[in-house]
A = this chain, B = another copy of it.
């Protein structure tokens, strides 16, 4: 896909190549130029400064919950909008060197979260074999290749491809319902498609969060479904929160526009992160 300038779109993501973030970026636009960054904030800043057209950041995992660093980038650090959402199934693979034997493995590398997500598989398949933490799922393949022991890695298929390693087994995570939702940040949100979602945040200043009920009523009284609610600290004191809410519909839909205006009038700070096409889940 071509960007505004007619050039290939430049997509910032949390590197290195081979991570699930890169997989999400490719799912969003397989033709894009992919730019790895060392942090969520720096990937978002690249879009702000014009060094990239869009940034792809994980916002939620079905097992771990919200990615709070991304929420905080949206709240505190960026003037960007959410333009798309992408859901990537997390399929961990058992990866070894091209010429290695999976039955002679002496050590297993991965990110600690991935090792934890494959705990039962690893106990059964490799009882008593040592596990070593890597900085990312992708770095695990490099660590495996540099190891002086006969090593395996738990990694995304894409990382095995990039580093020329061999996938022995796919989908070795214990829980099959392992999905990560990513958002695509850009300088504008998405035009109306008819099946959209809108993300907003607001806080109540010194009022108690009790008026949250009144705010949610602005949506429910207009038949607008709430699809998600999160809270983050205002960073001023305990007991004061910023609420992040996803509702079904586009901010240009007449009833949604009315609801958003009513909410804005009742809260202290208010921000629309954007409207974008809703991902339709194939999971039950």
Q: A65-B232, A208-B225, A230-B231 are in contact. Are A283 and B237 (CB under 8 A)?
A: yes
* Interface hit among A157-165, A187-195, A212-220, A262-270: A212-220
- B-chain residues with CB within 8 Å of residue A217 when the two chains form the complex: 213, 217
Q: Is the CB of B281 within 8 A of A239?
A: yes
- B-chain residues with CB within 8 Å of residue A243 when the two chains form the complex: 229
Q: Is the CB of B63 within 8 A of A65?
A: no
Q: Is the CB of A219 within 8 A of B229?
A: no
Nearest residue, chain B, Cβ from A243: B229
* Interface hit among A6-14, A34-42, A174-182: A174-182
- B-chain residues with CB within 8 Å of residue A281 when the two chains form the complex: 237-239
Q: What CA separation (Å) do A253 and B283 show in the bound complex?
A: 42
Question: Taking the complex as formed, is A146 at the interface, i.e. its CB lies under 8 A from any CB of chain B?
Answer: no
Contact of A63 among B227, B235, B284 (CB under 8 A): B235
Q: What CA separation (Å) do A230 and B228 show in the bound complex?
A: 11
Q: What CA separation (Å) do A131 and B178 show in the bound complex?
A: 36
A58 to chain B, nearest CB (A): 12
A239 to chain B, nearest CB (A): 6
Q: Is the CB of A233 within 8 A of B64?
A: yes
Q: A212-B216, A212-B226, A217-B213 are in contact. Are A233 and B68 (CB under 8 A)?
A: no
- B-chain residues with CB within 8 Å of residue A125 when the two chains form the complex: none
- B-chain residues with CB within 8 Å of residue A220 when the two chains form the complex: 210, 213-214
Q: Is the CB of B227 within 8 A of A208?
A: yes
Q: Which of A208, A228, A230, A238 has the most chain B CB atoms closer than 10 A to its own CB?
A: A238
Question: Taking the complex as formed, is A236 at the interface, i.e. its CB lies under 8 A from any CB of chain B?
Answer: yes
Q: Known pairs A181-B238, A210-B226. 20 more at Cβ < 8 A? A: A60-B233, A62-B233, A62-B237, A62-B238, A64-B233, A87-B238, A177-B237, A209-B229, A210-B225, A212-B226, A213-B216, A213-B217, A213-B219, A213-B220, A214-B220, A216-B216, A229-B231, A237-B283, A237-B284, A238-B281
Listed by A's residue number, 19 A-B pairs whose Cβ atoms lie within 8 Å are A60-B233, A60-B238, A62-B236, A63-B235, A64-B233, A65-B231, A65-B232, A177-B237, A208-B226, A208-B227, A213-B220, A228-B239, A229-B231, A230-B231, A231-B231, A237-B281, A237-B284, A238-B283, A239-B281
